[in-house]
Amino acid sequence: MPAGPAPAFEQYLELNRERRLESYKALLRIPSVSALPEHASDCRAAAEAIAADLRAIGIEHVEVAETGGHPVVYGDWLHAPGAPTVIVYGHYDVQPVDPLELWESPPFEPIVVGDRLQARGAADDKGQVHLHLRATEALLATSGGLPVNVKFVVEGEEESGSVNLDRWLEANRERLAADLVVISDTGFFDGNRPAITIGLRGLAAVQVNVYGSTIDLHSGSYGGTVQNPANALCAIVARLKGPDGRILVPGFYDDVLPLTEADRAAFAALPFDEEAFRGSIGVPALVGEAGYTTLERRGARPTLDVNGVWGGFQGEGSKTIIPAHAHAKITCRLVPAQDPDRITELLVSYISEIAPPGVRVEIVPQHGGRPSLTPIDHPATKAAARAIEATFGVAPLYIREGGSIPVCASFESILGLPVVLLGFTPPDDHAHAPNESMDLRNYETGIRTVAHLWYELADLPR
Amino acid sequence: MPAGPAPAFEQYLELNRERRLESYKALLRIPSVSALPEHASDCRAAAEAIAADLRAIGIEHVEVAETGGHPVVYGDWLHAPGAPTVIVYGHYDVQPVDPLELWESPPFEPIVVGDRLQARGAADDKGQVHLHLRATEALLATSGGLPVNVKFVVEGEEESGSVNLDRWLEANRERLAADLVVISDTGFFDGNRPAITIGLRGLAAVQVNVYGSTIDLHSGSYGGTVQNPANALCAIVARLKGPDGRILVPGFYDDVLPLTEADRAAFAALPFDEEAFRGSIGVPALVGEAGYTTLERRGARPTLDVNGVWGGFQGEGSKTIIPAHAHAKITCRLVPAQDPDRITELLVSYISEIAPPGVRVEIVPQHGGRPSLTPIDHPATKAAARAIEATFGVAPLYIREGGSIPVCASFESILGLPVVLLGFTPPDDHAHAPNESMDLRNYETGIRTVAHLWYELADLPR
């Protein structure tokens, strides 16, 4: 197996540059905003366009599959016997365009501005789906085949919560048998230096409801005789985390994978300006768990945050009551190998235990999500790194994101597959914002990276 | 000086019973709801009616005094040289009548139902003002004078916060020189057993505002790197009070008068069913500061209660943010001899000290109020007790209320006068509620009690 695509691959790409850009623009002209019902037919049109594209380049079993919501486009090429099978996941739906008045050009009329193609979806994620199709097209056109088996899954509800995807994955478990998932829907850490996102945090969530009297009580006539639900709620929340930022729920850290020397070195290698970060959000100081850097705390350590708290009188002036009830929404960001169900259980049990007397405390578990990690030394991560070096000419940075991408956890938990997050856009791509754009140099290099990756993955241990 | 009114006093009252009831009803027919602008002229009409009544019975210097809001009615009788001077305070304004549909008879059409006169204001406070006027009328008519000097102050904004009274008291400080204030605007503790309210709690209030970032932050992208304002707020509130109910603000208890044996005996003498009290408000258990009974905690111990708390997302489902800010409204009920300004200072200083890093904490003092106490062994309290025994035939109970009556604190702090709270209505008088009523037996006995009190006060040490 060669270490990369044949010279004809590059020639093909050079010859078709203009046609490629036109095809990219055509896809971007479809206003496939999944969150807005009036764009349902546009979403379907985008799905059909992807399906037609897949068929045209030689992908088989192409189907616009119904999900109950916007359809999933499926297609595969399975003629590399003995080679690994890779699922390429992406999405054809886009974010709404509000506020429209901040766009410098109409969001669904793509234009080239300098090195960039500007339009809603140029980066997130139509552009990155499109570059995958172009890599496959060029490989099939010039080599007559691919070094790996590929299954495309392009959904249409990523920007509105992927609400139907899990069920579709469950229902198509057999058809989706594979070795690996590659997703190009993330970005770089800083500037235009390529990066691989190796970790995402998971989520556990509870709502705490504290009930006292059936009605708000006069704080004069009753103050001193009853537990105040708002004070009780604060007492509970205060006991969840220590002043050193450590979460005090017993067992909370039991399953946390400790940071390795390599992990810490990867964090330390990221170009990160603490003071600029602090200034950008306007806080007086960055704080968090003792013993870890800011990036480590964000990427590799679990958290416990109150997302909302309320109870009693919130208006102007004063109302001297003891509130009848008080509430807090609490989420924990989880890291490998914490289990959201287990963490939720620990939270429920601990909060029940520390609940003060005189009030009834109810703890309602909310929807959670698993953390995700494909380590730096995973063969697939290493393959992606080699593909990046071969095409960008520089080693990638390794990012552990603080947030969650639910679809990663779905692929890991439903299909049991590792996920490689190989995105090609710099942080200034304005994804989800006005004037979204894709750097066309990254788009082009991305096509080459994907092709190289298929070669690098051909001998992935299975 | 005789120990009570002459026999002619009682004969006069007997002869005029019917006329008295008609006069009482006439006052109740005026819908003097101070909180509603459309009743401003009714408030003025009630003030004029009180003024006319005062003039008719022989009170001098009667004036309907402007305050900027509803007027204050002033009048005096100062012909008892060498005897003490008593201010009688009451109010002619009444609560709104909503919900009207729950009234069994129109609120401003007084009717006698059994032993009671039912109408808005029958008890609170027109009825109790009216009985004071009738006692004075009968004494002046039958003895040609009073054993003490009396100054009437009947305001019209008590039910809407007495917003103009303090300024009027300040402006009339000299005219209001006196030895004592008697207020008949409270009630009994239980059933129809007479009571004297000897203590009221004061108030200190602060709003705590905790600010983090300028915007709500994504709890994935920022969780672990910043202090969460809602967590920080809970941490602050949790450090204000210990699990034993003790307030942890240094110096908070410094000026609290300890309970004497007599105080504790008075609390213990009150007929109080803890379980019924608990059941009536639906809390799982009564809790509070260790070492004190429920009534002691309510009447004679200070408190710290969150009246309201808010920050971040309060809707259905979840929104994984770190709120930009979080807030709590906190009030302390104060007891003698705590000073609201001093307590507010202590709160501000302590909260500033315990504020966690990474957030900006702002503490905004709110309007406070002084606690009030005229002890059981105060000569004026003793005089009132003797007057009650002489007329009700039973010794009074002594109540220390958990709430505040701001006007008491005003008389104490602006005029430097002790206040005797001598109310005549049982707890089921429905003051502030539909079907307010006054037990006419209490109204009649109240007239006699007031007359006796003037004789008992004649030799009050000055």
pLDDT tens, position by position, for chain A (462 residues)?
457 899 999 999 999 999 999 999 999 999 999 999 999 999 999 999 999 999 999 999 999 999 999 999 999 999 999 999 999 999 999 999 988 999 999 999 999 999 999 999 999 999 999 999 999 999 999 999 999 999 999 999 998 889 899 999 999 999 999 999 999 999 999 999 999 999 999 999 999 999 999 999 999 999 999 999 999 999 999 999 999 999 999 999 999 999 999 999 999 999 999 999 999 999 999 999 999 999 999 999 999 999 999 999 998 888 889 999 999 999 999 999 999 999 999 999 999 999 999 999 999 999 888 898 899 999 999 999 999 999 999 999 999 988 888 889 889 989 999 999 999 999 899 998 899 999 999 999 999 999 999 999 998 988
Whole-number pLDDT of residue B413: 87
CATH of domain B7-200+371-457: 3.40.630.10
Residues of chain A with Cβ-Cβ distance to B370 below 8 Å are: none
CA distance A127 to A20: 11
Binary contact (A309, B309; C-beta < 8 A): yes
Partner-chain contact A327 B314, CB within 8 Å: yes
Q: What pLDDT was estimated at residue B368?
A: 85
CB-CB under 8 Å, A282 with B219: no
Contacting residues of B for A327, CB less than 8 Å apart: 314
Residue B310 pLDDT: 98
> In 10 A of CB A290, how many CB atoms?
11
Between strands A72-77 and A60-65, the pairing is antiparallel
Type of residue found at A214: T
Give SS3 for A261.
Answer: helix
Nearest-CA distance from A55 to chain B in Å? 38
Q: How many CB pairs under 8 A join A and B?
A: 297
* B contacts of A301 (beta carbons < 8 Å): 224
CB atoms within 10 A of CB A333: 29
- Classify B202-256+302-366 by CATH class: alpha beta
Q: d(Cα A216, Cα A223) in Å, to the nearest integer?
A: 11
Decide if A285 and B326 are in contact by the 8 Å CB cutoff.
Answer: no
d(CA A310, CA A210): 11
Looking at beta carbons, which residues of chain B come within 8 Å of A282? 213-215
Say if the Cβ atoms of A305 and B234 lie within 8 Å.
Answer: no
Domain boundaries, chain A: 7-200+371-457, 202-256+302-365
- Return the CATH number of the domain spanning residue range A202-256+302-365: 3.30.70.360
What is the pLDDT at residue B38? 95
Q: Which of B221, B305, B309 sits opposite A310 (nearest CB)?
A: B309
Question: Which residues of chain B fall short of a pLDDT of 50?
Answer: 1
Tokens at A352, concatenated: 């029940």
Question: What is the per-residue pLDDT across B318-341, written as a single tens digit (0 to 9) for each?
Answer: 888 999 999 999 999 999 999 999
Identify whether the C-beta of residue B42 lies closer than 8 Å to the C-beta of residue B135.
no
Residues of A annotated as part of the active site? 93, 158
Q: Are B285 and A220 within 8 A, CB to CB?
A: no
- Report pLDDT for B1: 46
- Among all residues of chain A, which has the CA nearest to that of B200? A220
Taking the CA of residue A168 and the nearest CA in chain B, the distance in Å comes to 24
- pLDDT for B403: 86
Catalytic annotation, residues of B: 93, 158
Enter the tokens of residue B95: 């609560």
| Cross-chain Cβ contact A226/B288 below 8 Å | yes
How many CA atoms are closer than 13 Å to the CA of A39, on its beta-carbon side?
Answer: 21
For residue B241, give the chain A residue with the closest CA: A231
Closest partner residue to A226 (CB to CB) among B286, B301, B315 is B286
Q: In the prediction, which pLDDT does A1 show?
A: 46
A304: closest CA of chain B, how far (Å): 8
